[in-house]
Amino acid sequence: MGMKRKVESTQNLSEPAVAYGVVNPASLLGLLGSNYATSTDFDLLNLARKGVSKKALVSLAKQISLTIQEVAGIMHISERTLQRYTPATLIKTEYAEKAIELAKLYERGTEVFGTIDNFNDWMKTPNYTLNGEAPLNLLDTSIGFDLIIQTLGRIEYGIFS
């Protein structure tokens, strides 16, 4: 009977995690219009070709705690242009690709760090292995995205990063 009580208490400990901001990382691509449960690279390709709505982009920005200014900088679109779009306006391919890349990065970071808040803290902290830059500052190029993904892989496997 003591064993059963111990199991119940372990289960109870894991339940409150939802209340503390643990985000299902799969939901980030879902915010952009992807049916993540069955998404393939071709589904994401079609999503990029179709475009991502401004409303979806704003939802993603809120979920990952970035300002619309930060997202505009990452996507290489002027903040003013982005603000002029209606919520239903579809943001075309090259910008949609960046939005998808951003969602995928934050999904990966949340997997590695356990919570989106932990990943956000890491993204805003200067990192020795990234030449002393905060990872967030590298998101203006695809090379920067790749460097962050590589660093996340090293962190996941316990290599100092």
Alpha-carbon distance 105 to 111, whole Å? 10
- pLDDT tens per residue across span 71-129: 999 999 999 999 999 999 999 888 999 999 999 999 999 999 999 999 999 999 999 99
Q: How high is the pLDDT of residue 38?
A: 54
Measuring CA to CA, how many Å separate 3 from each of 11, 13, 16, 121, 142? Answer: 13, 16, 22, 38, 52
Residue-wise pLDDT for 13-48, tens only, equals: 333 333 334 445 456 888 887 655 556 888 888 888
Angle, CA of 14, 109 and 21, to the nearest 5°: 40
Please, are residues 67 and 61 in contact by the beta-carbon 8 Å criterion?
yes
**How many C-beta neighbours within 10 Å does residue 75 have?**
22
Q: Say whether pLDDT at 3 is over 50.
A: no
